[in-house]
Structure 1
């Protein structure tokens, strides 16, 4: 159940399609019977082009959060809200649904700009991935780029077509073509195609009302497309990449399998170091949130660098502080990974366990003998009816000695998992 902050009649949310696209009979009826119509200037201009007049109008306020105060002033009236395209596709509908129940809203969708742009190209779009960069960092695009895939991007002034082309080149997709669809449905409509390597260096300007479509072509391989990111791909607190305080790939893969990332998860990574676990966790679970806690200034800097490099800026949140004191500042978790803790590991495990709800997962690792003792003591002190998981990884990696190959062993790592009954 969402927060009920509207108790008036059902709100009618009308999507306006491309200029010249007539409203459906149902949408027209909702508009005609509304006692107040709220929209942006461009929405009312679109209605005027259709020959429709709206005498009872109001404009969306700035800041947008003031919309609820505006609605409250007219709580006894039938209100229609105007939106662009499909209100439930990266639009007004998503904002409204965060606060209102479905029965408080009625939607009238129209053709979206994304749908229209693919139609102009004559390209099926059921397999395309749509990315909204509007009001979001351009680097968030990196989190979803994979080779031989179609994408559509909703843009803003910072994520303009040339900047998107630059991201494609940086990711190794140098053979990509970028289509820019501007002012769709108006007299100024234009759809143009550009090789990514030319567009990235171009100084051409485009209408702010644009949609960018591209297919990733080229060698790629700069950004990972499957779990198990190479250690050397991370920035770490060591002169040699991948050699700093970073959970190594083999341990990372095993830990992620125990974490079992799920949509809507709220995860903690306690003692995140340079971010090996946190980054992979956030990258492969775009619909979950990961909160990484670290206190060391140098490691925090590398953690932030890795967050930006791998594009997980939307769902990886960095917190500076020490456990267990800083745990009270984090949102309630559904799953916790404890990769650090040092001498405080026993206290941290108890604090984390108390924060988990029923069904919550606790995963921890230990390398030193003291940490191993803390894990075993925790498991014995707080018994549960289900069986814990214990895994020890002893990994050896290829190296050379006197010009001859050998397998050099790394310190064995103990992994522990418990589900809260």
Structure 2
């Protein structure tokens, strides 16, 4: 006969005002033998406890406290949590450390729900992030390039730090709303700009909401790579042909929220496409030519890309300050391909993809040997020959032959390989 599991009731207390604790939830709490929660949550329920109850404080010692529950038998255990415990709450932690128990979850209104209701925003409009107990840069990795976002703050992270991160990710022109003390008598929703966020003293488990309208480029409103060359502002540095760019971007397997390196900026056409077709990503690119920076900035403005960071100099030395990448695209290498590949391999994250374009067979062979020598997966080498038709004399048609190009790509091994 299977032994019946003891149960834990996980009860959401709502957004902060005790009036939002439902009568049925109060009954669950009143009959509990043991109640666990943070200090703020335990203080909230003290006024209506009617019998002697063991109160266990959950703080930074939550693993130790939750592990103690495993020794209890036939106790009526309640864990109280703020808002809705299933929305960036304690639910997953309880499931992880208390798997021996049957878990009953009792949701409530979250502060996030209350804030959106006050603003008249619907749930599906907003992408949510929590920086509570997380490393800031990692937590904001998949921040979109526009739209509506909500951020659950953490008192450990200063407003100045968050403002710097948001500016870095292109949200300088957004409208921000700070929602504080929701449902309480001193509730406030304050509208301000990013530079004012840096002037706040601290967060107090606030919610930060923001709206940044999407700026569609009139030059390329589509979601497909291979932007025609004539739409770019060009100059002395060469521009990668549209068909080659389309294949490079395709083999990069882009997705939102990546860190992307592009070595050899040139006109910036690949940089622009990587930024456009990987929303919320940050693209780092380098080129020793001052003209490349000027052209890239002009094309950034033309295509409304605010997630690109240009560095003038030679790879790999110029890349030392860049965050480790999920994707790397190598075009120009200045005769230092071996040195660049060695450094890129060291920095590329597991399962990250590397795409190399080459016009010389020798470069393609070097890339091919590198991928196999370092046990990359999904290795491909493609020769691309593009011919473009144009009208000739009379009713004839002629082919303009483009230089052939080699695209070599592969995926770095990960623990799952």
> Which position in structure 1 is the counterpart of 2:131?
133
Q: Decide which of 349, 354, 365 is 2:380's aligned counterpart.
A: 365
> Which position in structure 2 is the counterpart of 1:42?
40
SS in 2 for 1:146: coil
Query: What does 1:3-402 correspond to in 2, within 5 Å?
Result: 8-17=5-14, 18-49=16-47, 55-98=53-96, 104-134=102-132, 135-138=134-137, 140-141=139-140, 143-147=142-146, 149-157=147-155, 159-161=157-159, 163-194=161-192, 196-200=193-197, 203-217=199-213, 249-256=245-252, 298=317, 301=320, 304=323, 343=369, 345-346=371-372, 363-366=378-381, 392-394=383-385
SS in 2 for 1:97: helix
Deviation at 1:55, TM superposition (A): 2.4
TM-score (norm 2): 0.58
SS in 1 for 2:191: strand
Q: In structure 1, what is the Cα distance between the partners aligned to 2:96 and 2:65? A: 14
CA distance 1:198–1:242, change in 2 (3 Å): farther
C-alpha distance after superposition, 1:96-118 (max 9, x if no partner) = 23456698211011111111111
CA RMSD of aligned residues (A): 5.2
Deviation at 1:127, TM superposition (A): 1.6
Q: In structure 1, what is the Cα distance between the partners aligned to 2:238 and 2:85? A: 45
C-alpha distance after superposition, 1:250-303 (max 9, x if no partner) = 3432214xx6979xxxxxx9xx997999x98x96799xxxxxxxxx97587366
Residues 142, 280 of structure 2: 8 Å contact kept: no
C-alpha distance after superposition, 1:223-249 (max 9, x if no partner) = xx968699xxxxxxxxx9999xxxx85
Single out whichever of 407-416 and 62-71 deviates more from structure 2: 407-416
SS in 2 for 1:90: coil
SS in 2 for 1:91: coil
CA distance 1:174–1:41, change in 2 (3 Å): closer
Number of residue pairs aligned between Structure 1 and Structure 2:
316
Residues 161, 212 of structure 1: 8 Å contact kept: no
Deviation at 1:413, TM superposition (A): 2.1
Residues 339, 365 of structure 1: 8 Å contact kept: no
Residues 177, 193 of structure 1: 8 Å contact kept: yes
Deviation at 1:95, TM superposition (A): 1.8
Q: In structure 2, what is the Cα distance between the partners aligned to 1:84 and 1:78? A: 20
Deviation at 1:60, TM superposition (A): 1.4
Greater Rg over alpha carbons, structure: 2
CA distance 1:337–1:207, change in 2 (3 Å): closer
C-alpha distance after superposition, 1:297-341 (max 9, x if no partner) = 758736626579xxxxxxxxxxxx98xx99xxx98x7xx857587
> Which position in structure 2 is the counterpart of 1:413?
407
Query: Please, which runs of 5 or more residues in structure 1 have no aligned partner?
Result: 1-5, 231-239, 263-268, 287-295, 309-320, 353-361, 367-390, 398-405
Residues 129, 140 of structure 2: 8 Å contact kept: yes
Q: In structure 1, what is the Cα distance between the partners aligned to 2:160 and 2:211? A: 15
C-alpha distance after superposition, 1:193-228 (max 9, x if no partner) = 11x244145x2335512111111137598xxx9686
Q: In structure 2, what is the Cα distance between the partners aligned to 1:54 and 1:86? A: 26
Deviation at 1:179, TM superposition (A): 0.8
SS in 2 for 1:126: helix
TM-score (norm 1): 0.57
> Which position in structure 1 is the counterpart of 2:299?
none
Residues 13, 108 of structure 1: 8 Å contact kept: yes
CA distance 1:9–1:219, change in 2 (3 Å): same
Q: In structure 2, what is the Cα distance between the partners aligned to 1:346 and 1:178? A: 49
Q: In structure 2, what is the Cα distance between the partners aligned to 1:54 and 1:395? A: 81
Query: Please, which runs of 5 or more residues in structure 2 have no aligned partner?
Result: 228-235, 265-269, 282-314, 328-340, 357-366, 389-399, 412-417
Residues 154, 210 of structure 1: 8 Å contact kept: yes
Residues 173, 219 of structure 1: 8 Å contact kept: no
Residues 112, 207 of structure 2: 8 Å contact kept: yes
Residues 353, 409 of structure 2: 8 Å contact kept: no
SS in 2 for 1:412: strand
SS in 2 for 1:21: helix
Q: In structure 2, what is the Cα distance between the partners aligned to 1:183 and 1:242? A: 56
